[in-house]
Amino acid sequence: MVSIPVDEHLLLRTFEPSDAGALFDAIDGSRKHLHPWLNWVAKTTKTEHSLNFIEQSLQQINNQEGLALAVVSDNKIIGGIGMHKWEQDTKRAQIGYWITAENEGKGITSKALGKFIAYLFEQLQLNKIEIHFVAANKRSAGVAAKLGFTIEGVIRQSFMRNGIAEDLVVAGLLKSEWKKQTS
């Protein structure tokens, strides 16, 4: 079980099967906010889908393939942060994140990602972290820039978002760059 304190109100922790209802409610309550950017939201239509995600996430942790954590504020799930496409040989992975509509714009995502990135570099010994986002997602671009990620390229029309092929921006952060920022 992973537990990363962010501040006195905010915690990142492993999802548990008992979180399925709360996770679904967080997604469902922000469906209009999340759907434009995250394809999986349309496929999450009932609590069982959230339970399946949690069970798959726990298996990925067990297999050292990924890490999905709940963003919890005062014991309420308000989002998720995850590491996926974990390449053990190159010590590289991608991260993704989402936050409920009512919590957007409060700095929670950047603060939580800062702690998550520290965990990935310090505890899991990753060398590189990437964020992939569609070019139209200005909020993700802002988060990446705020956290010191460098835009490494744009992969043209390589992400299907709501049936439309869109450009995918790849931003990366090396452990050596992160160390310079935090020292």
The pLDDT confidence band at residue 130, using thresholds 50, 70 and 90, is: very high
The pLDDT, as a whole number, for residue 119 is 98
pTM to 2 decimal places: 0.95
pLDDT at 183 over 90: no
How does DSSP assign 44-70, residue by residue?
--SHHHHHHHHHHHHHHHHTTS-EEEE
Query: 7-28, pLDDT tens digit by residue?
Result: 999 999 999 999 999 999 999 9
- Helices 47-62 and 20-29 pack at an angle, to 10 degrees, of 120
Query: 153-181, pLDDT tens digit by residue?
Result: 999 999 998 889 999 999 999 999 999 99
Helix residue ranges per DSSP H, 64-148: 108-122, 138-146
Closest CA to 171 of 135, 139, 123, 132: 132
Domains (range + CATH), the chain? 3-182 (3.40.630.30)
Q: CA 153, CA 169: separation in Å to the nearest integer? A: 6
Our CA angle for 173, 110, 156, nearest 5°, is 50
